[in-house]
Structures are given as C-alpha cells and as structure tokens.
Amino acid sequence: MALVPLSLLAAGCGKKQNALAPASHQSQDIATLFWWMTGVAAVGLGVVVALLLLAWIRSGRRGAGGDTQGAKPGERVGWYVVLTGGVLVPILLISALFVIGDVFVIRTTEAPAAGSTKRTILVIGHQWWWEVRYPGTSAVTANEIHIPARTPVRLEVRTADVIHSFWVPELNRKIDTLPGSTNEIELYADAVGRYRGDCAEFCGLQHAHMGIWVYADPPAKFAKWLARQSRPAAPPTGAQASAGRAAFLSGACANCHQIRGTSASSGVGPDLTHVADRETLGALTIPNTPSYLHDWIRNSQRFKPGNQMPSFNGLPEREIRDLVAYLEERK
Amino acid sequence: MSGYIASSVERPSKPAAWWGMVILISSEATLFGAFIGTYFYLRFRAPTWPPDGIPEPRVVVPLILVGVLLLSSIPMQLASNAARAGRLAATRLFVVAALVLQAGYFAYEVHDFSDQLKTFDISRDAYSSIYYVLLGADHAHVALGILFNLWLLAKLVRGLTTYRVHATQAIAWYWHAVNLLTLVVILTLLSAAIG
Amino acid sequence: MAIATPPTPAAEARVERLEVMWQSRPGVLGWLMTTDHKRIGLLYFWTTLVLFGAGGIEAMLMRTQLIKPNNDLVSPETYDQLFTLHGLTMIFFFIIPMTTGAFGNYLIPLMIGARDMAFPRMNALSYWIFLASAIFLYTSLALGMAPNAGWFDYVPLANKTFTPGHNIDFYALAVIFNSIASTLTAGQFIVTILKSRAPGMSFNRMPLFCFAFLAASFGLLFALPPLSADNIFLFLDRNVGTHFFDPSHGGAALLWQHLFWIFGHPEVYILIVPAFGIATSIIPAFTQRKLVAFPLVAIAELLVVFIGFGVWAHHMFATGMSTTALIFFAGATSMVVIPSTIQVFAWCMSFVLGVARFKTPLLFIAGFIFMFVTGGLTGIMFVAIPFDQQVTDTYFIIAHFHYIIFGAAVFPIFGGMYYWFPKVTGKLYFERPGQISFWLIFAGTNLLFFPMHLVGLLGMPRRVYTYPGNLGWTTYNVIETIGGYLTLVGILVLFGNLVWSYLRAPAAGPDPWHGPTLEWVTSSPPPEYDFAVIPKVSSAYPNWDVEDREEDRRKLASGVLLLDQGHEQVEVTPVDGWLSRTVEMPHESPWPVLLALCLSLVFVMLLLQHFAIAGLMGILSLLTLLGWHSKEPQEA
C-alpha cells in the first residue's frame, strides 16, 4: 500500500520542496537515513501484522470455547517473544539508529561555526516575509537568497517579531528564529538551480504565505547578482516612472519600504531597491508581473488577507500605474 | 499470600485523608518546582543578577523569619500527636501556639512585600517578575495554612472525633511541607546575594 | 455473584436495605447533587461526546478547506481558531476526560471491588469544574475570539503585542481551570486505587486497567503544574506587564516551550496509557486467556510515564539548542520506546496464544495495535535528530501523532464503548453494524492520515490555511479529506448502532463475555452500591475464580462484609490489601456544583481583568469549601 506513493515521491515528481529530492549532502544524508528507517520500520510493522493474522487463523481453526483461562498455555514462548521482540531487538536497532543519526549524520547538519565559511548571509524573519542581508556589502533583498553553487554558506537567522522557522528541505533541515538570539545553519547546494522553502513555525495569520526561494548560481553569475543588489537605485527613466518615484516618496510607500539611493529608508516592510529582479511578490504568494504588482498595490489584502500592507483602493488608477512603472525599473 | 481473612482483623494504615493531603502537597510542590526552575533558568541567562538597579536581597532578616516559621512545625506535630492520643486541651494549645508563630511571620511578610513593591515593581523585568510570583505564591500557601488552622480550632471547640484527629494529622503535614517549601523558596531568592 | 438472584430470604432483605440506603434523589436535583461514581462517569461520557463532536466538526471544516489549493471556505482567522480549538478540545476536553472521567470513574471502583471512589464529593467537583472549563473555552468561540495561536501557543506570538485580543487570555485561563479538574481526578484515582481495593487484592492482583490508570494519574499530578506555571506567567505577561517571556527585559521565549513540553510530553503518555488499560481489559476477555507476561506489562505501563518525564525537549530539536542537549534528549527518547515495545508484543502474543474471538471490541484493539505500531515506528524515526529537524512542523508529524492519538487512544475508547456497553446499559449491542463501523473507521483513518506522511516529506508545513497548487500537494489533500469523511461516516454508524442497540437490543445479563474482572460480577447495570458484599479476591482475574465468587454468595447469605449500617466502604493497606478500617462515605451533596460555580466566577473575573472582584469570588469559594466541610461523616 505504501510503496506506490513512496516510489512516486522518489521518482522525482519534480524538484519543488521535496525532502526526498535532496540537493546537498546534508539533505542527502537525511533522505538516505529516512529510506533505511522506513525499510526497517516496514519489517517491524510486518511482524506485528503477521502475529495478528496468525491469531486470526489459529482462532478460526480452534473455534470458540475451551477453558484456557487458568492454564496460560504457551506462556514461555510468550515471554521469549516479548523479551526478544520487545526488548532485545529494539535495543539493538535503536542504539544503531542513535549512533548513525546522532553521532554521524548530525555532524553534517550541525550549525557551522563562525568563520568556517567564506560567506555569511543574514536572514531575518518578519510577519510574513524574509529579510535577506549580505554582511560586508550593502545588499538587502527579500524572500530570495542567492548563493554560489557548490559553496558552503553560513546562514544566520533571526526574527524581528515572533518565532519563525527557516526551512528549505532540499538543502538542509529547518532552524527556528528566536527573539533575542541568533541561530545558524549551513546552506549548500550541489547543483545550480532554485530551491523552495517555507516558514515552518506557525507565526500568525499569513504563515501559509511565507515562502522563500534559494537560487544556487554559478559563481560568476552570483558575483554579478550581488554587485547589482549592492548598488543603490538608478534614477527613473521617463515621465511615468518619475511620477511614480514622486508618488512613492511622498505617499504611504516610503513609510514602510526602503529604496536605497532615495529618501525612503524604512525597514518595516521589504526593501524594494531591486524589487523588479525578484520572481514573486508577497513572499512567493503571487508572480511578480506588472499586472499582479498593480493588483497587489491596489489590494494586497485580497491575495494575503491580514498581511501588514494595507489596501490602497482609494488611490487614483493613474498613480498606481505610475508606481508600477517606477517599480518595474527597480532591477 | 493468603489474602483475605474472614475475621474482622484490622491492620493500621494511614487514612485516606492523609493520602489526599500528600497528593495535594505533591502537586503544589511540583508547581513550586516549576517556579524555582524558572528562577534559575532566567538567572543563568542573565549577565547580572539581580539586574542593574535592583538591590540585592537582604539575607539575615529573611533567614530569621524563615526560622520562626520553621519552628511552628514543632507545635503542629505536637498537636497531631496530642490529637491521636485524644488529648483535646493539649491539641488546642499547640495549634494556638503554632498560629501565633505563623500569623506573626505572615503579618511581617505582608508588610515587607508591599514595601519591596515600592522599591522595584513586578513589571520591571524578568527578575522582578519571578521574584514576586515565587514569593507571593509562597505567602499565599502560608495564608491558606493559617486559614486551615483557624478552621481546625473552630472544629476543636466541640471536641475530638476521628474526623478531627485525621484533619489535625493532615494539616500538620501541610505545615511541614509549606515550612520546608518556604525555606527552599527563601534560599532560592537569597541566592541572588551570592555571586 | 449477580445481585439479580439473591439466594436466601435473609440475603434478599439485606439487599433491600442496601437499595434503600443508597437510593439517589429523583430528577435533575439528583444528578446535580450526585456523588455516585457511575453517574459522574456517565455525565463525563455525554459531555465529552458533545465536545468530541465539536472537535470533529473543527477537523472536518479544516479538511474541507484544504481539499483544494487557495480555497476560501474559511478565512485565515477562522482557520487559526479551528486548528487551535481542535487540538485543545481533543486533548483536554475529549480524550483525558473520556478515559479518566468516563471510563476511569465508572470502572475503577467496580474493578477493585469498592462501592465508590475515596472522595466522592471531590469526584463530583472534578466533573463540574471540567464542564465549567469547557463552557468557558467555548464561550470564546461564541464571541469570535477563540484561542488562535495553536494548542501549544508559543510566545511571542501569544503575547499581548502580537495577539492583543482576549483569545489567549481565554486559552491561559481555560487550561488552568481545566487542569484543576484533572489534578483532582488524578489524586482521586491514586488514593482510591491505593486505599479502597477489596481486601485480598494486593498490589500485584490489581487489574492491568488499574496499573494503567495509576500511571496516568501520577503523570497528570506531576505534569499539570508546569503547564499551570507557564499559563500563570503568560496571563501575567499579558495582563500585568511582567516579562517572563520578553527577551528585551531578561525574559526568554524558550522558557514557555520548556515548561510547556515538560507538561506536553508526559501528557501524550497520559493520553494513551489509560487506553492501554482498556486494551488489556478487552484482550483477556476475548482471548479467554490471562495476558502474556502480566508483570512485565504492569511495570511497563508505569515505566513509560516515568521515563516520559525526561524527554520533553525532543519537541524542540529545531530551536537551536546545543548539540549536547539535543543528544541527551534523543538518548532519553530512545529509552522510552522499550516499555512500549514490550507491551506491543505482550498484546500480540496474547492474541496468538489465546483463542481470539474477533468481536467488535477485539477488532478495535487489533486496529489499535496496527495504528499504534505505525505511529510508534515514525516516532522512533525522530530519535535521529537530523531527520526530526527535517520533518518536524510538517504534515509528517501530524501523521505521526494522529496515528498515535487516534489509533492508540481513540480506537480503544471505541472498543471500550462496545465492550462495556452491556454492563452500563444492560443491553447487548448489535454485532454486525459494530464490525462495519470498525472497518469504516479503520479504512477512513488510514486514508486520512497515511498520505500526510508523504505530503509532509514533500514540504507541506503544518498549520497552513491553504497551499499553492503547483507543489504536488493537492492529490494527497483530496485523499485525506475523503478519508476524513469516510471516518465520519464510520463514527456515525458506531454511535447510530449504540443508540439503536440501546433502544432495541436484547438484554445482556451480568456477564455476556465471561470477562475477567469484578465489574462482570455485578448486575447490568450495576446497583447504586456496586457490590452487596465486598468481594473476596485471590488473583488479578477475580471473575474467573469460581470458588471466590461462591464464597461471596455465602457471605451475602450470612451477612459478612455486607457493610449495610450506612454508606460504608472499606479501607485497606496500600500494598498488601489487608483490611484496615470501615469508613462512612458522603452521599449526595450540593457543595461540589456550588464550588464549581464560585470558581467559574473567579476565572470569568480574571478574564475581564476585574482582579479585585476575582479575589472576592476566591473568598466566596473558600466559604463554600467551609460549608462543604461543615458536616462530618459521623453527623451525616
């Protein structure tokens, strides 16, 4: 019964957010451990089911009645099975599991020490988006992390508000973000690609819409990306974009969103300096296209009800189009 | 084991009321265990303890007061013994003696508690939060014990019955537990004065 | 010995005396003032069934919302209240009160040969406090402000800054209020099991049901105070401005988690151990054989709760604790597996070595073993810390704990309902629909919970009100929702069958199963006084000891150990069960329901932040307690 869906899983219904489609040695070790444990568990369940079936067959043959109450027939055999199956075998198997999992595999998934990698990235969880910073540069972005492929990166995770949990299953296990402290995890991708993650600790109304993309780029591409992210915003080109910039700075946008190189410097919401470079809006809630961006600004509550960005239904249509034009240039 | 005996031979054992009191004490002791665990958990995460601006606790006066309260275990146990021996007047006397010690202790502590609140308020930080909850919970249990003793005295006005003997035993145990608990609580709070 | 057929005229006259003396007041007043453990058990039974229904509706609403991606059947606010209430209800307001309050209350005195619990009025108090706490919690739903931060309610989400409304105050106060009821019940069971057994029932002759409930009671006694401490801190942080959990003023967010799971892990053993007790009652009856390795099973039941106190931080493996701490807790968790595996093989071998009659109760126990082992095996997988860190907080863990809780707690509850239905109602339930209900529920729960393992591995986190359609999760969710509806149908068949059987089924007689324990000695249903003669006990399977039951009949005729001079009960020595004294028991009393009412007012006033009035209500409660203790047994 279990084998069919399990094989579907393994056959790679695509790389999505699949713990059994590992893309790093950490996730690979965890996945291998899982398959072995499942195999042994299936055998264990099989033994128990066999015993119950045996009872059913024997009872069918012997029929009802028979005063077995006082005599305790087969009690000796019973004790042997209980002590073997219930004590000896579990002690052996669990000890093996403990050693393999908690002495060996744990070394690869343990938090990396400071200075052990060439690069450290800082991720700060917010209700309900991820702030991403590259210490040593002025790069700030949101809901997307870029790392060079096949390079271990140390991730420091914090929270600005409640407990979140950073989890990209294809790359590593999850790590919680706790107020007042910093946790660490290693991020390593053994192939170029993109890997999806989610917040994995209930953090309020829009916990369900707090995804994150991790892009593992070829090193040269990564360097170019990082350099671009570090630059402040370029000036707007054209009248509509200029109008949009003016609207951004004089309106409510600047109260929450930073665009480096302008007077907007608030950290309440995501940094929008290079927002057009990102694939999604609202932490992987909707695609980042002009039409979606337009709808998001007008009424983000429709896509992500309860999120911290109010709806701007009262804004004139022209103003929203100007804003979209300006933001679409933020690459 | 031959089990049941047909004749009505009765063997002594602690009454159900005693067991009930032991259960209550176990539950409350565990609650205090959680409070004390919290105290030390918060303490070992703090760079300084007490935090800056809060005075270290006095040591001598609190220890003397705890000593006074601990002394009350003696008359309480004597009351329990006297009750089991059927000596009504002695039982009443010992309960009154215990009450004097306990009420005196409690009155002073209430005064001291409200004084301290003026120095540093409960909502100041984590130290003040656990300090006042731990101490306040202990005072509440002392207060409850005083009420138990008052009830017992009122019952003893009309003499001793098996019920009242069991009650005296159970309440004596309550006081032993509360007194020991108070010692542990005070030592915990005073530990902030060391190191 | 069936009271229905007393042997001599003298015996008949004695029974008549007992009947009159133990009679209940008629009508509603009789129920409000009852201290009879069987009536209290029935009150718990019906109340918890209503709450089970509520928890079930919450589940079905969630499953229906999740049947397709980006669904909008319910808003995120509503969904958050649904999953929080579902967890709270099923754990605190269904399983614990159903196993301890309903099964435990009804059966423990009967199984140990007693006439009632050790503290009958306190027993009634437990029920009324439980009822009040359930009403208190569900009032929050009626007001649209039910708790919404999950049943384990982590801070800082649960503090005032992030959840300003009263939702979490309802949570903290309802949990504290409810825990008073459970603590009283736990104390009740411990004292009763130690002191009120029939003479001759030494500790090693207690039914395994009693070992299980003793273990669960010790668990409750020591696990609930940390939870209360946690919620006291939370209430104070939210309403008085303390800083237990606030790192900016020296507090710690993890403090909540530690205290919570110090309660929470023992709690999960408390959930399943009474169900083990039900299983170890049903197996001997339907295999007509004493349980294999009885002493090992008894010790294992106690050990699993005891060791369970040392493993709590395995719920916190992803919080960034030091590797040393993680390994300690993984090691402790490994140990707690052994008492469970011992029991699994003892149960299975009892099936094999006896003559198993797969009637409905035993079918549910077979199902229970299958589900418990499945859930237990995934539980063992979490000993490997990196694997736990990969799948915790996903649907994989939801699968794990539902296999355990539904499989290891609810299946035995259903089996127990069928098993003891004849005893409680006097009717023999209809077997065919019983079997059908089992298979529907078994198929439904597997369809519902198995795919959750897979969708969790595919990355679906828990507590999400919706999900995107392009991650391959949709099909699994559809199957799970169908499984949920199938389970619902099975449960409706189960209860429909019980109701129909109550109305139409033939009489059962005192002992339709030739059961091993003393409840099968009495009539069905048992008389108010349970036993006319306190039974003689020489083994852990007293109803199979034919000579002892004969001797009881002779004692009834001659009046020995009849205890008909009042509401009398024996007390014994705790270990050996030697007769110690005869005690007079309270009968009916208005004080329990009055005290519960006063305590309710305390909690309501705390919720409304009228602290001074809450204090006054506290004083009123103390006065009620005074009234309770005003009349002594010898004056009654």
Phi, psi for C580 (deg, rounded to 5):
-115, -50
> Are C48 and C72 contacting, i.e. CB atoms less than 8 angstroms apart?
no
DSSP string, A49-96: HHHHHHHHHHHHHH-S----TTT-TTHHHHHHHHHIIIIIHHHHHHHH
pLDDT interval class at B6 (50, 70, 90): very low
> Are C403 and C381 contacting, i.e. CB atoms less than 8 angstroms apart?
no
* Owner of token pair 């597997």: C446
**Residues of chain A neighbouring C287 (CB-CB closer than 8 A):** 68
C370 vs A: CB within 8 A: yes
User: Counting beta carbons within 10 angstroms of the beta carbon of residue C198, is it exposed (0 to 12), middle (13 to 18) or buried (19 or more)?
Assistant: buried
Asked whether the beta carbons of residue C458 and residue A17 sit closer than 8 angstroms, the reply is yes
Which residue would you say has higher pLDDT here, A74 or B101?
B101
Nearest beta carbon to residue B51 from set C186, C194, C250: C250
| pLDDT of C295 | 95
Asked whether the beta carbons of residue C293 and residue A82 sit closer than 8 angstroms, the reply is yes
Cα angle C179, C182, C186; round to 5 = 135
Given a cut of 50, whether residue C396 has pLDDT beyond it is yes
Of C173, C188, C175, C179, which is closest to residue C40 (Cα–Cα)?
Answer: C188
Asked whether the beta carbons of residue C537 and residue B4 sit closer than 8 angstroms, the reply is yes
A78 vs C: CB within 8 A: yes
Per-residue pLDDT tens digits for A276-326: 999 999 999 999 999 999 999 999 999 999 999 999 999 999 999 999 999
Ranking C16-30, C269-283, C444-458 by mean pLDDT, the lowest is C16-30
Strands of A144-210, DSSP E = 144-148, 153-159, 164-167, 175-177, 183-187, 193-199
If one counts every other C-beta atom within 10 angstroms of the C-beta of residue C5, the result is 11
| pLDDT of C10 | 84
Q: Which residue of C has its CA nearest to B121?
A: C242
Share above pLDDT 90 across residues of chain C, in percent, rounded to a whole number: 91
- Distance to chain B for C287, nearest Cα, Å: 27
Average pLDDT, chain C: 95
| pLDDT of B42 | 97
- ipTM > 0.85 (yes/no): yes
Scanning C566-585 for CB atoms below 8 A from B yields 571-574, 576-581, 583
Per-residue pLDDT tens digits for C355-393: 999 999 999 999 999 999 999 999 999 999 999 999 999
Asked whether the beta carbons of residue B123 and residue C243 sit closer than 8 angstroms, the reply is yes
* Helix (H) or strand (E) segment spanning residue C584: strand C579-584
pLDDT interval class at C11 (50, 70, 90): confident
| pLDDT of A72 | 83
pLDDT interval class at B8 (50, 70, 90): low
User: Counting beta carbons within 10 angstroms of the beta carbon of residue C498, is it exposed (0 to 12), middle (13 to 18) or buried (19 or more)?
Assistant: buried
Between chain A and chain C, how many beta carbons pairs sit less than 8 Å apart? Answer: 290
- Distance to chain B for C162, nearest Cα, Å: 19
DSSP string, C26-59: PHHHHHHT---HHHHHHHHHHHHHHHHHHHHHHH
> Are C584 and C568 contacting, i.e. CB atoms less than 8 angstroms apart?
yes
Can you give the three-state secondary structure of C239-265, one letter per residue?
Answer: HCCCCCCCHHHCCCHHHHHHHHHHHHH
The pTM score is: 0.95
> Are A164 and A177 contacting, i.e. CB atoms less than 8 angstroms apart?
yes
* Residue to substitute from A1, A82, A177, interface C, most C β-carbons within 10 A: A82
Nearest beta carbon to residue A82 from set C345, C354, C369: C345
**Residues of chain A neighbouring C323 (CB-CB closer than 8 A):** 106, 110
Sort strands A280-281 and A211-217 into parallel, antiparallel or unpaired: unpaired
- Distance to chain B for C351, nearest Cα, Å: 30
Ranking B78-82, C243-247, C457-461, C579-583 by mean pLDDT, the lowest is C579-583
**Residues of chain B neighbouring C229 (CB-CB closer than 8 A):** 31, 34-35, 38
Which residue would you say has higher pLDDT here, A123 or A10?
A123
pLDDT interval class at A7 (50, 70, 90): low
Mean pLDDT of A79-85: 96
Provide the token pair at C586: 């309270």
Provide the token pair at C299: 């010790």
| pLDDT of A1 | 46
**Residues of chain A neighbouring C354 (CB-CB closer than 8 A):** 68
DSSP string, B112-148: HHHHHHHHS-TTS-HHHHHHHHHHHHHHHHHHHHHHH
Given a cut of 70, whether residue A14 has pLDDT beyond it is no
Nearest beta carbon to residue C537 from set B3, B37, B45: B3
Mean pLDDT of B95-112: 96
pLDDT interval class at A60 (50, 70, 90): confident
Q: Which residue of C has its CA nearest to A1?
A: C450
Nearest beta carbon to residue A161 from set C149, C156, C349: C156
C299 vs A: CB within 8 A: no
| pLDDT of C634 | 67
Cα–Cα distances in Å, from A243 out to A113, A331, C178, C546?
48, 18, 61, 98
Helix, strand or coil for residue A274? coil
Mean pLDDT of C17-45: 94
Q: Which chains contact B through at least 3 pairs of Cβ atoms less than 8 Å apart?
A: C
- Distance to chain C for B20, nearest Cα, Å: 7
Nearest beta carbon to residue A165 from set C318, C342, C355: C318
Query: Which residues, in sequence order, are CB contacts of A199 under 8 Å at separation 6+?
Result: A125, A128, A130, A164, A165, A166, A167, A207, A210, A211, A212, C461
Nearest beta carbon to residue C228 from set B20, B24, B31: B31
If one counts every other C-beta atom within 10 angstroms of the C-beta of residue A60, the result is 10
Scanning B55-114 for CB atoms below 8 A from C yields none
pLDDT interval class at C618 (50, 70, 90): very high
C522 vs B: CB within 8 A: no
- Distance to chain C for A262, nearest Cα, Å: 31
Query: Which residues, in sequence order, are CB contacts of B148 under 8 Å at separation 6+?
Result: B171, B174
| pLDDT of C2 | 42
Most confident of A1-15, B8-22, C9-23, C81-95: C81-95
Cα–Cα distances in Å, from C24 out to C3, C32, C136?
18, 11, 29
**Residues of chain B neighbouring C614 (CB-CB closer than 8 A):** none
CA distance B151 to C625: 11
| pLDDT of A249 | 96
Helix, strand or coil for residue A125? strand
Scanning B141-180 for CB atoms below 8 A from C yields 147, 151, 161-164
Per-residue pLDDT tens digits for A201-260: 999 999 999 999 999 999 999 999 999 999 999 999 999 999 999 999 999 999 999 999
DSSP tag of A23: -
Q: Which residue of C has its CA nearest to B39?
A: C244
Ranking C158-172, C429-443, C548-562 by mean pLDDT, the lowest is C548-562
Q: Which chains contact C through at least 3 pairs of Cβ atoms less than 8 Å apart?
A: A, B
> Are C599 and C621 contacting, i.e. CB atoms less than 8 angstroms apart?
yes
Given a cut of 60, whether residue C5 has pLDDT beyond it is no
**Residues of chain C neighbouring A175 (CB-CB closer than 8 A):** 318, 320, 389
Query: Which residues, in sequence order, are CB contacts of B80 under 8 Å at separation 6+?
Result: B168, B169, B172
pLDDT interval class at B189 (50, 70, 90): very high
**Residues of chain B neighbouring C195 (CB-CB closer than 8 A):** 13, 16, 19
Asked whether the beta carbons of residue B20 and residue C225 sit closer than 8 angstroms, the reply is no
Mean pLDDT of C586-596: 94
Given a cut of 50, whether residue B2 has pLDDT beyond it is no
C536 vs B: CB within 8 A: yes
| pLDDT of C14 | 86
Given a cut of 80, whether residue C629 has pLDDT beyond it is yes
**Residues of chain C neighbouring A70 (CB-CB closer than 8 A):** 290, 544
- Distance to chain C for B10, nearest Cα, Å: 5
pLDDT interval class at C566 (50, 70, 90): confident
Asked whether the beta carbons of residue C288 and residue A67 sit closer than 8 angstroms, the reply is yes
Which residue would you say has higher pLDDT here, C14 or A69?
C14
**Residues of chain C neighbouring A2 (CB-CB closer than 8 A):** 450
**Residues of chain B neighbouring C255 (CB-CB closer than 8 A):** 38, 41-42
| pLDDT of A12 | 45
Asked whether the beta carbons of residue C289 and residue A73 sit closer than 8 angstroms, the reply is yes
Cα angle C604, C608, C610; round to 5 = 95
Per-residue pLDDT tens digits for A231-245: 999 999 999 999 999
A178 vs C: CB within 8 A: yes
Asked whether the beta carbons of residue C119 and residue B28 sit closer than 8 angstroms, the reply is no
Given a cut of 90, whether residue C601 has pLDDT beyond it is yes
Given a cut of 70, whether residue A3 has pLDDT beyond it is no
Per-residue pLDDT tens digits for C464-519: 999 999 999 999 999 999 999 999 999 999 999 999 999 999 999 999 999 999 99
> Are C454 and A38 contacting, i.e. CB atoms less than 8 angstroms apart?
no
A300 vs C: CB within 8 A: no
| pLDDT of B195 | 64
Query: Which residues, in sequence order, are CB contacts of B147 under 8 Å at separation 6+?
Result: C622
Q: Which residue of C has its CA nearest to B51?
A: C250
Cα atoms in the Cβ-side hemisphere of radius 13 Å centred on B133: 31
Cite the DSSP H helix spans in C163-293: 167-195, 208-239, 253-287
pLDDT interval class at C275 (50, 70, 90): very high
Provide the token pair at A51: 């015993």
Q: Which residue of B has its CA nearest to C219?
A: B27
C224 vs B: CB within 8 A: yes
- Distance to chain B for C385, nearest Cα, Å: 24
CA distance C239 to C540: 53
Given a cut of 60, whether residue A66 has pLDDT beyond it is no
Of C494, C524, C519, C481, which is closest to residue C103 (Cα–Cα)?
Answer: C519
| pLDDT of B144 | 96
**Residues of chain C neighbouring B3 (CB-CB closer than 8 A):** 199-200, 202, 205, 536-538, 577
Mean pLDDT of B33-43: 98
Per-residue pLDDT tens digits for C330-340: 999 999 999 99
Nearest beta carbon to residue C626 from set B10, B28, B151: B151
Given a cut of 50, whether residue A13 has pLDDT beyond it is no
Mean pLDDT of B64-73: 96
Query: Which residues, in sequence order, are CB contacts of A12 under 8 Å at separation 6+?
Result: A18, A21
| pLDDT of C635 | 59
| pLDDT of C446 | 98
DSSP string, A199-226: E-S--STTGGG-EEEEEEE-HHHHHHHH
